[in-house]
Amino acid sequence: MNKKLQLEKLLQERILILDGAMGTMIQRYKLEEEDFRNESLKAHTKSLKGNNDLLSITRPDVVLAIHKEYLEAGSDILETNTFSGTTIAQADYGLEHLVYDINYESAKLAKQACDEYTAKNPNKPRFVAGAMGPTNRTASISPDVNDPGFRGITFDELVKAYKQQTLALLEGGSDILLVETVFDTLNAKAALYAIMELFEEHPNKEVPIMVSGTITDASGRTLSGQTTEAFLISMMHAPLLSIGLNCALGASAMRPYLQVLANKAPFFVSVYPNAGLPNEMGQYDETPSYMGTQVEGFMKEGLINILGGCCGTTPSHIKAMAELAAKYKQRIVHSQQPTAHSIK
C-alpha cells in the first residue's frame, strides 16, 4: 500500500499524532552563532543565530535527535524543520541560495527518522509532513499604515517561492505537504496554487495536502480578518487531506473555532495548539498533564482526526496527548472530499 492510501486508511481508524515544537526543543541546546555556520558560511556577513531551518545543514545531529524524541513520544507525523524555508523568509539572512538545500536536507532528516521508527514497528508507520510556513510578508495587508494599498509582496512572488520550497520538500522525501500557521489566506492560496501547479507538471510527485490556520486573538479571526468559517470556505476549492488550527492560542481558547471546522469541513480536522499563551517572559506554562486535559475535551466531543502541539510543547506534551488519543475515536468525516483538480 502506498503512503497516501496508508495515511487515509489510518485516519479512518484512529486519531493520528503530530509532533510538537521544533523551536522550543532547539532552545534547550543553547546553540551559539557558530552552530549556525559550516565551512561555506564561515565568512557570511550576516548573523545567522536564530535561523533554525539552517540547522538541518549545519547541525543535522540536533534536528535528527529532536525528531527521534517526538517519534519516541508517539508521533505518527513529523514536520520538517522548514517553517521559514522560502527565499522570502531566508532573505533576512542573505541565504536565498540555500533554500533548496535547507528544504531537501530537512525532509531527508525527517524521513531518516521516520524510516528508522517504522522499521522498528511496521504496524505504526510514520509520515513526513513538509512544513510550509506563512513567510514574513502578507499579501492582504499593507505594512505601511499610511498607504493601505501598498503590498510588500505579490501573489506571483509568493507562488514562485512556495513552488521552489515544494519541489525540494518532495525530492527530500516528504509524504505530505503542510501549509501551516496561516494568518493570511491569500498567502495560503499562493502556496496551494504553487503546489497544484507543481503536481500538474509532475503527477508522480503528488502527495496529500494539509492546511492549518491560526486564530490570532479572542475575536476568532485570522490576522487578515477572516472568521474560521470564512477561512474554511476560502480553502475548500483545494483537494485537501485536512484542515485545522495551530499556534497563537492555547487549547481551551481554540475550542469554539475547532467546533466550526468539525461541523462544516468535508476534510479531516487537525489541531496543534500552543502550550497556553506566553507569559511575560515569553515562556509557555501549560504542563503536559494540564494541556492533555484541555485537548482531551476535543476528543470527547469527536472534533479531531490529527492532534499535536505548537509553541512551547515538548515530547512530554506529545506523549501525554498520544496516550489520551489512544482512548478515543477519531472524528467521522460525513461529507465527501472534493476530487483532485487544478485551482487555477
Among 27, 20, 14, which Cα is nearest to 72's? 20
Indicate whether 341 belongs to any domain: no
pTM of the shown model = 0.93
Residue 1 — very low, low, confident or very high, per pLDDT cuts 50/70/90? low
Is pLDDT at 148 greater than 80 in this prediction? Answer: no
The label of the residue with cell 470556505 reads 233
Phi then psi dihedrals of residue 272, to 5 deg = -145, 90
Indicate whether 334 belongs to any domain: no
Is pLDDT at 344 greater than 90 in this prediction? Answer: no
Per-residue pLDDT of 236-259, as tens digits, reads: 999 999 999 998 778 888 999 999
Residue 140: its pLDDT value, please?
62
The distance of Cα 53 from the centroid of its chain, to the nearest Å, equals 13
Indicate whether 227 belongs to any domain: yes
Convert 263-302 into a string of H (helix), E (strand) and C (coil).
Answer: HHCCCEEEEEEECCCECCCCCECCCHHHHHHHHHHHHHCC
Is pLDDT at 335 greater than 70 in this prediction? Answer: no
Indicate whether 336 belongs to any domain: no
- The angle that helices 315-325 and 288-300 make with each other, rounded to 10 degrees, is 30
Indicate whether 196 belongs to any domain: yes
Residue 150: its pLDDT value, please?
65
Indicate whether 320 belongs to any domain: yes
> How do 176-182 and 127-132 pair as beta strands?
parallel
Range of the domain at 155: 3-325
Is pLDDT at 341 greater than 50 in this prediction? Answer: no
Tell me the β-bridge partners of 227. 221
- What is the overall mean pLDDT for the chain? 92
Q: What percent of the chain has pLDDT over 70?
A: 94
Residue 138: its pLDDT value, please?
74
Residue count of the chain: 344
Per-residue pLDDT of 97-125, as tens digits, reads: 999 999 999 999 999 999 999 999 999 99
Q: CA-CA distance, 168 to 130, in Å (whole number)?
A: 9
Structural domain count of the chain: 1
User: Amino acid identity, residue 13?
Assistant: E
Indicate whether 330 belongs to any domain: no
Q: What's the whole-number mean pLDDT along residues 319-342?
A: 78
Residue 285: its pLDDT value, please?
84
Residue 139: its pLDDT value, please?
65
Indicate whether 333 belongs to any domain: no
Is pLDDT at 3 greater than 90 in this prediction? Answer: no
Is pLDDT at 337 greater than 60 in this prediction? Answer: no
Is pLDDT at 340 greater than 60 in this prediction? Answer: no
Specify the DSSP class assigned to residue 204: G
Per-residue pLDDT of 274-299, as tens digits, reads: 998 778 777 888 999 999 999 999 99
Q: What is the CATH number of the domain that holds 65?
A: 3.20.20.330
Residue 342: its pLDDT value, please?
35
CB 54, CB 62: distance < 8 Å = no
Per-position DSSP letters for 10-50, written without gaps between them = HHTTS-EEB---HHHHHHTT---GGGG--GGGTT-SS--TT
CB 68, CB 12: distance < 8 Å = no
The label of the residue with cell 512530554 reads 316
Specify the DSSP class assigned to residue 326: T
Tell me the β-bridge partners of 246. 272
Residue 170: its pLDDT value, please?
98
Question: Which one has a higher pLDDT value, 339 or 87?
Answer: 87
CB 11, CB 306: distance < 8 Å = yes
Exposed / middle / buried, residue 112 (Cβ in 10 Å: 0-12, 13-18, 19+): middle
Per-residue pLDDT of 222-238, as tens digits, reads: 887 789 999 999 999 99
The distance of Cα 127 from the centroid of its chain, to the nearest Å, equals 13
